Chains A and B, each alone.
Chain A
Amino acid sequence: DVKVTQSSRYLVKRTGEKVFLECVQDMDHENMFWYRQDPGLGLRLIYFSYDVKMKEKGDIPEGYSVSREKKERFSLILESASTNQTSMYLCASPPGVGGWNTEAFFGQGTRLTVV
C-alpha cells in the first residue's frame, strides 16, 4: 500500500558534497512537494512541481534545486551541502484536482546530517 517512498531514511554527508534526495509516488499525481522539518519551525516549503519538467520555488529554496524528469519521481538536490541543511526532509504528493483538500500523502522522511 506504499504511495510515497523516499529513498533513504537516514543520510550522513560531508560539507561540500552534492546530495540527492529521491522521492517516488505511485498514484500518478501531477503535484509533488519537498518540505524540510525543523523543531520549532514546523514544515517549510523548499520546492514544488506541478508537472514533469516544471518546478516552482517555495519559501526557502536557497541552496537547493530539484529535478522532475518523470511524473513519478521528484528529486531534491543539495548542490553543496552545508551544516545548516541538517534537517528532516519530507516529500508530499497531493492529487491535482482539489489539491490538499483531498488526501495528500507524505513519505516517511529522510533525516539528513551534514558533518
Chain B
Amino acid sequence: GNSVTQMEGPVTLSEEAFLTINCTYTATGYPSLFWYVQYPGEGLQLLLKATKADDKGSNKGFEATYRKETTSFHLEKGSVQVSDSAVYFCALSDYPSNTGKLIFGQGTTLQVKP
C-alpha cells in the first residue's frame, strides 16, 4: 500500500542555518504530496503542497519539489528561525481517486536554537 518515509529526528539547527527534511514515498497512481506543520500545543496546519510531478510548493520560506523519478518531496528552507521549531509531517493523498485517506510519515521534530 501507499506509504511515506521521513528522516528521523530530532533535527537541531542554529538560527539562520539551512534546513532539509527528507521525505520519500511509495504510491500507486498519481498522489498529491503535502507538508504539514504542528507547532507546540497545536493541531496540524498545511504548510505547502504539490499536486503533480515537478510542481514546487512554497510557503513561509519553505519549499518542496515533487520528484516522481526519485519518489521524493524533500522540505527545504534557506534560513531557519527559532519560530520554525515544530514537528513536520510529510503526507500523501490518492486524489483524484479520492478514497479519502491522507497518509502521514512519522514526523520530524525540528528545534532551532538562537
Contacts and interface: CB of A to CB of B under 8 A. Distances in A.
Contacts, number: 63
B89 A43 contact: yes
Interface string B75-114: 0000000000000010101010010111111110000000
B99 to A, nearest CB: 9
A101 B93 contact: yes
B49 A45 contact: no
Interface stretch (A13-21, A68-76, A77-85, A105-113): A105-113
A104 interface: yes
Contacts of A41: 106
B106 A42 contact: yes
Contact of A100 (B6, B32, B89): B32
B98 A107 contact: no
A76 to B, nearest CB: 15
B44 A106 contact: yes
- Give the residue among A42, A56, A109 with the most B Cβ atoms within 10 A: A42
A100 B106 contact: no
B104 A100 contact: no
Given A31-B100, A48-B100, A101 B107 contact: no
Contacts of A108: 41-43
B34 A4 contact: no
Interface string A1-36: 000100000000000000000000000000101010
Contacts of B42: 108-109
Given A90-B44, A98-B95, A42 B105 contact: yes
B67 to A, nearest CB: 19
Contacts of B41: 108
Given A42-B107, A43-B89, A100 B102 contact: yes
Interface of A: 4, 31, 33, 35, 37, 39-45, 48, 50, 56, 58, 90, 92, 94, 98-101, 103-104, 106-109
20 contacts: A31-B100, A39-B107, A40-B106, A41-B106, A43-B44, A43-B89, A43-B107, A45-B103, A56-B100, A90-B43, A92-B102, A100-B91, A100-B102, A101-B49, A101-B51, A103-B46, A106-B43, A106-B44, A108-B41, A109-B42
